[in-house]
Amino acid sequence: LERAEWLRLQLAGELVRAGERDLIVLDMPASGEHPFEVASLMEAMRALVERGATVLAADNHPALTAAADCLVEAFAVGEWKLA
């Protein structure tokens, strides 16, 4: 499976099972994805949040950072700020 297909399968499984107090951590989920796929990813992430889960995504994709409820910017080792 390609990375995007694997991620979609994982998210589909989480959408079925996720509930309140679950923490889902995604590392660069939008990396190399087509804009349409990023939009679908964002819809899936929002659905998880609506079910009560917390989604933490480490990514620098402009659409994901713009849609974030909370943004933590990391810089050099030991430097960060809450935006």
Residue 43 burial by Cβ neighbours in a 10 Å radius (0-12, 13-18, 19+): exposed
Q: Determine the average pLDDT of the residues in 8-37.
A: 83
Q: What distances in angstroms separate CA 70 from CA 36, 50, 83, one per listed residue?
A: 23, 15, 7
Q: For residue 83, what pLDDT is reported?
A: 66
Residue 16: other Cβ atoms inside 10 A: 7
75 or 45: which leads in pLDDT: 45
Q: Determine the average pLDDT of the residues in 19-40.
A: 85
Side-chain half-sphere CA neighbours of 35 within 13 A: 2
Q: For residue 62, what pLDDT is reported?
A: 92
